[in-house]
Copies of this chain bind each other. A is one copy, B any other.
Amino acid sequence: MGVNADSVLLTDLYQLTMLQAYHDQDMNDTAVFEFFARKLPEGRNFLVAAGLAQLVDYLEALRFDADELAWLAQCGRFSKAFVDSLANLRFTGDVQAMPEGTLFFPDEPILRIVAPLREAQLVETRIVNLLQFQTLISSKAARVRLAAPGRRLIDFGLRRAHGAEAGLLSARASFLAGFDGTSNVLAGVRWNIPLAGTMAHSFVLAHDSEVAAFEHFARSYPAACTLLIDTYDTEAAARAIVPLAHRLAREGIVIQAVRLDSGDLGEHARRVREILDAGGLPDIAIFASGNLDEYAVSALVAAGAPIGGFGVGTRMNTSADHPYLDCAYKMQEYRGIARRKHSEGKTTWPGRKQVFRRFDSAGLMAGDALTLEGNTQPGLPLLEPVMAAGRRLAPAPSLAEIRERLVAQLAGLSPAQRALTPAPPYSVEVCPALHDLARQVDQRRVAPVRPVVNGAGCG
């Protein structure tokens, strides 16, 4: 059997054991699950929804192939009748979601699945796996983008991303958050993300002379090359580039940039800038990398470091300060009855929810209302239909469209919320309709879902 990420067996065992129990009890009525974050990572002001495109691909392709069914049949846990029932299982449900690139806040669902119980349950693990990771990285990358206005930002993180898919998806997630490109070739192939790269220390080390390495690389890329200059002595390398660049220029060969990768990047950048400027090379840009994140980039920008672009890797692709989100995919309704759990510290809002976002006259975001579907509130509803009866309703938006959406969304944040420092929490009001339903659920433990009176005021 192939072991690839697309396998329906990329799930937790309990999804399958619960499905068998549902099968044994003939339970398969309509269930409603929603995905949301319980809270923001400490010190953060917003999250960026991402990963929906891969989620829709997954749901559309969901099926057990013959090898997978055979494995289940022989593993000793499942009855023949149950395994047979899986052969025709497809995802036939409806999906509502916030489009990728939407800003969101705690308790706001960014995804709702309405589907027969077994389908809605089976997909939990991969849904969380896909949504939490890209949301995590887009949310981090958006902060790097905000910290470096006008600078070129390149994803360099494949090598220390957590495996292959993390490397691929973080290239996508950082690009949709406004990065300019990635070093990850396969991500470029897959999503047409612009590729960028420089050279490694090993290229310099493989030559007996640093300047010979520079010349060889420039000759292979006469229109544009970036030379890594910190292998031995950064400023000495910059000084060596001055005569080399002039000599190569006479042959029409252009050195576009130099890269710094160690030491005090701001101080080296200033010295290298002076050397290049004094050498008549003001057009050679300085690119920096090495342990960067939004804080390091912001500090360099604030200090006026003459750095035109940054390669940001490990700390972004692992979301190193917050490597996971406190998020969940939870049942909100089954058989027309709203539900919620009461586990300590993890109580959730029941029912099918919608989020309405208000804007002030200047176009800034003025507060969200979390309410039940059908309880229309002022502002824009954020969850939109994405799939119906198991099929997507429209082609996925392009990454360019998602980027534009996020730029517009970030422009709607107040300056305090856009800053790297923690701002007072953005207002998310829970509407009376939702409070009422929660009370009903708590009183009876389960509560029938009744039509919500439209227009009941929130907050």
Chain A residues at the B interface, C-beta cutoff of 8 Å: 1, 3-5, 7, 9-18, 20-22, 24-25, 27, 31, 33, 71, 75, 117, 121, 124-126, 128-130, 132-133, 156, 158-170, 183-186, 188-190, 195-206, 208, 216-217, 219-221, 230-233, 261-263, 314-315, 318-320, 323-325, 327, 330-331, 334, 337, 339-346, 445-446
Contacts and interface: CB of A to CB of B under 8 A. Distances in A.
A18 B220 CA distance: 9
Contacts of A14: 183, 197-200
The 8 closest A-B pairs by CB, nearest first: A163-B165, A5-B164, A13-B197, A14-B197, A162-B162, A263-B344, A162-B166, A262-B343
14 contacts: A10-B167, A12-B184, A14-B198, A18-B203, A18-B217, A124-B159, A132-B160, A206-B334, A230-B344, A232-B341, A232-B445, A262-B343, A262-B344, A263-B344
Contacts of A170: 162
Contact of A262 (B204, B319, B346): B346
B1 A189 contact: yes
Nearest to A78: B220
A205 B163 contact: no
Residue from A4, A22, A327 having most chain B Cβ neighbours under 10 A: A4
Most B C-beta atoms less than 10 A away, residue of A20, A320, A331: A331
Contact of A323 (B3, B221, B323): B323
A166 B168 contact: no
Given A13-B195, A197-B13, A205-B331, A162 B318 contact: yes
Contact of A12 (B18, B128, B156, B190): B156
Contacts of A10: 158, 164, 167-168, 184-186
Given A13-B188, A163-B169, A205-B334, 9 more contacts: A5-B164, A10-B185, A13-B195, A17-B197, A17-B199, A128-B160, A133-B161, A160-B324, A163-B165
Contacts of A221: 17, 21
Nearest to A121: B202
Contacts of A126: 164
Nearest to A340: B205
A199 B238 CA distance: 62
Nearest to A212: B25
A202 B323 contact: no
Nearest to A167: B129
Contacts of A75: 195
A334 B221 CA distance: 23
A11 B129 contact: no
A426 to B, nearest CB: 24
